[in-house]
């Protein structure tokens, strides 16, 4: 399916999931307020509360702003790693359920192979969904450069990933350090399959 078709198919499921999530969030908020409202103090009202050192919570890493990338730009990103690292290009979108499901596998693999693998996430989200995509990347702990498809037409971008790609998502291209293609995978990929392909690309034992 193309980006538009995939988004239309996933719309109903997305709305349902969003509603369920909102209901859970509302319940948690109400519970939190209730606990705060019903708490009582055993301190003497006339006695000032003891001063304690405040701890500053550690904020989660915020993802770098996505850069737009066209077909030529993606080819250059891949070429820049030749002889240095294997490359894993993953095209995804927030409205694509299989993309979201497999995403943690890619993040975990990237974090475990920082010295050997360059993971290139390319979002197929539309401009109006940019903030949602950026928030998703942050929630997944992605702290490296990612990209957003810039081509006006999907057809211009497809060949940059693979001549066999028809636009379905997720889509993954894995390239060895020497620049040779290891595999192009159209569809969701599980952790074990991903680990096997990465092991082939890097010449290292698979890390599950």
In this structure, the strands spanning 117-123 and 86-92 are parallel
- Most confidently modeled range among 27-31, 36-40, 137-141: 137-141
Query: Is pLDDT at 31 greater than 50 in this prediction?
Result: no
Q: At what angle do helices 191-202 and 97-112 cross, to 10 degrees?
A: 40
Lowest mean pLDDT among 3-12, 72-81, 88-97, 199-208: 3-12
Catalogue the E-assigned strands of 31-80: 67-69
Neighbour order of strands in the sheet with 181-186: 67-69, 147-149, 117-123, 86-92, 171-175, 181-186
pLDDT band at residue 58 under the 50/70/90 scheme = very low
Provide the β-strand partners of residue 69.
149
Q: What is the pLDDT of residue 61?
A: 58
DSSP 8-state code for residue 59: P
Q: Where are the domains of the chain?
A: 67-202
Task: Return the percentage of the chain with pLDDT > 70, whole number.
Answer: 66
Which residue has better confidence, 69 or 57?
69
- For residue 63, CA distances in Å to 91, 93, 134, 139 come to 17, 16, 7, 9
pLDDT band at residue 115 under the 50/70/90 scheme = very high
User: What is the CATH code for 67-202?
Assistant: 3.40.30.10
pLDDT band at residue 119 under the 50/70/90 scheme = very high
DSSP 8-state code for residue 127: G
Evaluate if pTM is beyond 0.75: no
In angstroms, the CA 206 to CA 84 distance is 19
Under 8 Å between Cβ of 145 and 67: yes
Phi–psi pair at 67, nearest 5 degrees: -105, 140
Q: Quote the radius of gyration of the chain (alpha carbons, Å).
A: 22
Q: What is the pLDDT of residue 120?
A: 98
């Amino acid at each position: 399916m193309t980006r538009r078709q995939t988004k239309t198919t996933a719309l109903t499921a997305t709305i349902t999931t969003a509603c369920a999530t909102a209901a859970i969030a509302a319940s948690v908020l109400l519970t939190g307020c209730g606990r705060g409202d019903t708490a009582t103090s055993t301190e003497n009202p006339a006695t000032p509360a003891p001063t304690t050192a405040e701890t500053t919570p550690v904020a989660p890493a915020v993802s770098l702003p996505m850069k737009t990338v066209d077909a030529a730009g993606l080819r250059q990103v891949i070429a820049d790693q030749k002889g240095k690292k294997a490359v894993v290009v993953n095209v995804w979108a927030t409205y694509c359920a299989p993309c979201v499901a497999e995403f943690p596998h890619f993040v975990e693999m990237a974090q475990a192979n920082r010295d050997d693998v360059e993971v290139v996430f390319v979002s197929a989200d539309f401009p109006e969904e940019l903030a949602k995509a950026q928030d998703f990347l942050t929630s997944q702990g992605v702290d490296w450069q990612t990209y957003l498809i810039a081509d006006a037409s999907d057809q211009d971008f497809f060949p940059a990933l693979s001549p066999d790609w028809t636009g379905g998502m997720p889509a993954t291209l894995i390239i060895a350090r020497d620049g040779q293609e290891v595999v192009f995978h159209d569809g969701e990929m599980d952790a074990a399959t991903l680990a096997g392909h990465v092991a082939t690309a890097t010449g290292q034992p698979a890390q599950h």
